[in-house]
Homo-oligomer: A and B are copies of this chain.
Amino acid sequence: MERWSGLTADEMLLLETTFWSSGGSRHRMAERLAFSKSKTNALIAGLVDQGILAEAGLQQSSGGRRAENLQLSGTLGVLVGIDIGATSLDIAVLRPDLQPVAQHAEAADVRQGPGVVLARVRVILRELLARCGVNARQVLGIGIGVPGPVNFQSGQLVNPPLMPAWDGFSIRDLLREDYAAPVFVDNDVNLMALGELWRLKRSLSNFLVIKVGTGIGCGIVCHGEVYRGAAGSAGDVGHICVDQEGPRCHCGNVGCVEVMAAGPAITRMAVQAANDGQSEALAECLRRTGRIDATDVGHAGRAGDAAANGIIQKAGSLLGQMLASVVNFFNPSHIFIGGGITHIGPLFLAAVRQSVYQRSLALSTRHLEIQYTPLGAQAGITGAGVLAMQETLKVRGVAP
């Protein structure tokens, strides 16, 4: 950490560019920074000498001599990514280039409140760091994603519907007791969007990441940056109305896409199909395990169960209806769908696509790609790591 406290603005820019281009060559780096070749080489040499940058093997080249891949040195320290979901907890210790060193995932219930959940976070994190032989002072930065609206500046949750006990709570302050490293908190879907932006090395400027789990949320990338809105609540698409005659949502309105197409709605439809005798496969699952989730519905559907496929079709079509409005408004180039829903399989995606292509304007959908998020279950953790590194570089960059 102390190692980069005396770096120049140009050196910090080179570090940031290296982080975002993960494994680029010197040549590509010079191009991106609009520095001369000799200036870039001198800067790199200095940073390699200080143990901040490392040259990682040889890169395949189209001809001539091979260029070295550059990355942030593993000796700098580690990043911590924490992904708090409504029903899950994921924690990873990552190298500065975001390669995981140690990782742990378990079921959790965010409604138990910050006391219970964060006590568990502290225990797991201590164990993970011990497992990699890293001490608390080697942690460079900590990034945390939570399933609710966050005031990004203060790190506090603001009226989170899925986690009311956390309202106004500062996660940042609590973790500061254990670690000197800076702690950054953001909404989980914003972090998924940040993770994809990093995976794509910023090659796309305007895209969306939709998370479908217990709720439905949307991370927005606009002009190449994550967009949080005027009050930090941008992307709250779960409460867009898709049926004026639909059921009542916990937000007070009726027909919100979240209450009709997210995880709990899929479970509700599946339990009903099981109990009504419409699906032997779902009834069997309910008897055997006492519950049915999106993964079970997907299994039943792929085995040819018509009721399960009807549920998948309906949920996908409703999500697509909401996305059609969003596509008309925002005209993204890509929509990546993530969260627990991805286990339901390809039929869901087909239903979403059909619904969007039918309801959106031709010009907006001509080149629109809709797919499951390539980072999969790692999207949240990756985004938390990107947040930790990016904001730590900013904090360090402005320090004297």
Contacts and interface: CB of A to CB of B under 8 A. Distances in A.
Q: How large is the interface on A (under 10, 10 to 19, 20 to 34, 35 or more residues)?
A: 35 or more
A332 B229 contact: yes
A235 B325 contact: no
Contact of A229 (B227, B237, B330): B330
27 contacts: A149-B363, A206-B227, A207-B230, A220-B329, A222-B223, A223-B225, A230-B332, A230-B333, A230-B367, A231-B331, A231-B367, A233-B331, A233-B361, A233-B363, A234-B330, A235-B331, A236-B329, A236-B364, A237-B329, A239-B361, A240-B325, A241-B321, A241-B325, A325-B326, A326-B329, A329-B330, A330-B330
Contacts of A325: 240-241, 322, 325-326, 329
A288 interface: no
A332 to B, nearest CB: 6
B329 A230 contact: no
A314 interface: no
Interface string A320-342: 01101110111111000000000
Nearest to A331: B229
Contacts of A239: 328, 360-361
B241 A244 contact: no
Contacts of A328: 236-237, 239-240
Nearest to A254: B359
Given A206-B229, A236-B364, A253-B358, 16 more contacts: A149-B363, A223-B223, A223-B227, A232-B331, A232-B363, A233-B361, A235-B331, A237-B328, A239-B328, A240-B324, A241-B321, A241-B325, A241-B359, A253-B359, A325-B325, A329-B330
